[in-house]
Amino acid sequence: MRIISVLFFNCFIIFLSAQSLYVKEINALLNPALKPFYFGVASGDPGQTEVVIWTKVWNETSEPVNVKWEVAIDTLMQHIVATGQLITDTSSANTIKIQVKELMPNTTYFYRFTTGDVFSPTGRTKTAPVEADELRFAVVSCNNYEHGYFNAYRLIANRNDISAVIHLGDYIYEYGANNSTKHPSVRQHIPDHEILTLQDYRSRYAQYRLDKDLQEAHRLHPFISEWDDHEFANDAYIDGAKNHQPEEGDWKTREAIAKKVYFEWIPITDNATDNIIRKLSYGNLADVFMLDGRTEGRCKQVESPYDTMLTCVTRTMLGKKQCDWLTAGIDNSPAQWKVVANQVVFSELDAHQLSKKHAINPDAWDGYPEERKEILDSFYQHQVKNIIIMTGDIHLSWAFDLVQNPKDKSRYNAKTGKGVIGAEYVVPSVSSNGLGERFPRGLCNLIGSIIKHKSTNPHLRFQNLVDHGYVLLDLNKERAKATWFFCKTLKSRSPQYKAKDSYSTKFNENRLVREK
């Protein structure tokens, strides 16, 4: 009798989990034409001979689902080069994720999934090259569903010249729904409360991935992704987050849930420890280093720029293991360009003329100056150049000469490029609010003129504090160019951009110049 009761209980738990993967409000967003592949398809982590392909199946029951996958070299899926089957179940929220191997380098492939007699949409992906003359990456971060439509993703989906999309984090936001009448949201979060549980996190990702523009960008381009803080909670660090209170439960439990769900939804290579630190090689032209600036080794942020702990040598953002991996990897990289996918602003930024209290951003690398110094010291010591740091998080657009001690005229010259070892390109948010939503444009321009003054930040060569969009990183043997594409609006769906700006650094010159 006891055995029967235990079996009944276990079955009951499985049944409950199958029925409660997502909050019921998600049902209203489903497109019946895509059933059961409501969330579309995606690919990611392209190597020279492999790539990850992904989908999810919406299952009305608790039973496992058998899914067939196919990869072909043609859009009609007639010339199949790889195929297989996988059984998925509710333990992964019915995720299908395959690392397809033995592919050809620098080749476009098409893929799809089948369950029963129903086909998924057909996805397109591309493997990395062994040798390349040119690469183009679309680089994005910070897509807050409530703050506007994901028009940047539609712009990216419309391109046919992208090697991959690099996502720098804040793929979702953990906040509850905004009920402000003074500053109403464009769209409302589901669920309407701050996400804490497994169902909460799965539901929030479900909502984001039902956005048709994000879904289409995933269908047509491989993504190379990393998390920042909002995949967990605002201003996360190794032992907690600013937006996590004791009454919300154990931090490590919440962090583990967030990591599990991230790997369920993002086309990233699975591993036993849910680690996102990795390098992707694009042959002779670029190595791409993906960082974890949140959960691997970040100490808690200081409260003030005058905190005596600010310059403590034991305070880290990456932690020693990751820091050593990064510096050694860049030092030993044979690639022409070393691209670092970095979550928060790396370059020094002096804002004391705006506010002494907020002279630095303690959540950025300014809050971890000793570890930053260690990294830069390594680059200078080993005479490494041609480093391109791609940064998200801040919801602003900046371009910096990558240099140590930018105010030291004996070490840095903006006109000649003396002391410069690369560039940092800061990408705008896809939709998350920036200064333009907080202040009138005139005040934003005044703030910008103070920040960009040569006496405070001489290495800051470009900025836009109000617009949203994405950056196209264009690499070839002569230069590394970033072009900012700014969306015309976020208030409605629109495939238009209103402006673009380009800055580049030439190979071995490492000085930013504006391109017309």
Q: Is the pLDDT of residue 516 over 80?
A: no
What fold does the segment set 2-125 form as a domain? Immunoglobulin-like (2.60.40)
What was the pLDDT predicted at 417?
A: 94
H-assigned helices in 357-417: 369-381
Spatial distance between the Cα atoms of 105 and 338, rounded to a whole number of angstroms: 20
Helix 251-265 × helix 198-209 angle, to 10°: 30
Band (19; pLDDT cuts 50, 70, 90) = low
What was the pLDDT predicted at 490?
A: 97
Q: For 474-502, how does the pLDDT look when each residue is reduced to its tens digit (9 = 90+)? A: 999 999 999 999 999 999 999 999 888 99
What was the pLDDT predicted at 500?
A: 87
Average pLDDT over residues 190-215: 98
Q: Is the pLDDT of residue 349 over 60?
A: yes
Q: For 239-262, how does the pLDDT look when each residue is reduced to its tens digit (9 = 90+)? A: 999 999 999 999 999 999 999 999
What was the pLDDT predicted at 258?
A: 98
CATH dotted code for 128-515: 3.60.21.70
What was the pLDDT predicted at 357?
A: 87
Q: For 44-59, how does the pLDDT look when each residue is reduced to its tens digit (9 = 90+)? A: 999 999 999 999 999 9
Spatial distance between the Cα atoms of 232 and 201, rounded to a whole number of angstroms: 9
Residues of the chain by 3-state class (helix, strand, coil), percent to 5: 25, 25, 50
Average pLDDT over residues 273-277: 97
Q: For 92-133, how does the pLDDT look when each residue is reduced to its tens digit (9 = 90+)? A: 999 999 999 999 999 999 999 999 999 999 999 999 999 999
What was the pLDDT predicted at 415?
A: 92
Q: Is the pLDDT of residue 188 over 70?
A: yes
What was the pLDDT predicted at 288?
A: 98
Collapsing DSSP states into helix, strand and coil, what is residue 383? coil
Helix 198-209 × helix 212-220 angle, to 10°: 80
What was the pLDDT predicted at 499?
A: 81
Helix 320-332 × helix 369-381 angle, to 10°: 20
Q: What do you get for the CA distance between the two ends of the chain, in Å?
A: 80
Band (1; pLDDT cuts 50, 70, 90) = very low
Q: For 164-175, how does the pLDDT look when each residue is reduced to its tens digit (9 = 90+)? A: 999 999 999 999
What was the pLDDT predicted at 181?
A: 84
Q: Using CB atoms within 10 Å of the CB of residue 76, give its burial: 0 to 12 exposed, 13 to 18 middle, 19+ buried.
A: exposed
Q: Is the pLDDT of residue 17 over 50?
A: no
Average pLDDT over residues 327-331: 98
Q: Is the pLDDT of residue 10 over 80?
A: no
Q: Please, what is the average pLDDT of the chain?
A: 95
Average pLDDT over residues 141-170: 98
CA distances from 478 to 78, 282, 338, 380, 508 (A): 40, 16, 14, 22, 9
What was the pLDDT predicted at 20?
A: 86
Return the domain boundaries, the chain: 2-125, 128-515
What was the pLDDT predicted at 202?
A: 98
Q: Is the pLDDT of residue 21 over 50?
A: yes
Q: For 59-73, how does the pLDDT look when each residue is reduced to its tens digit (9 = 90+)? A: 989 899 999 999 999
What was the pLDDT predicted at 182?
A: 82
Q: Is the pLDDT of residue 7 over 60?
A: no
Question: How many of the other CB atoms lie within 10 Å of CB of 37?
Answer: 23
Average pLDDT over residues 427-456: 95
Q: Is the pLDDT of residue 5 over 80?
A: no
What was the pLDDT predicted at 418?
A: 95
Question: How many of the other CB atoms lie within 10 Å of CB of 248?
Answer: 14
Average pLDDT over residues 501-513: 94
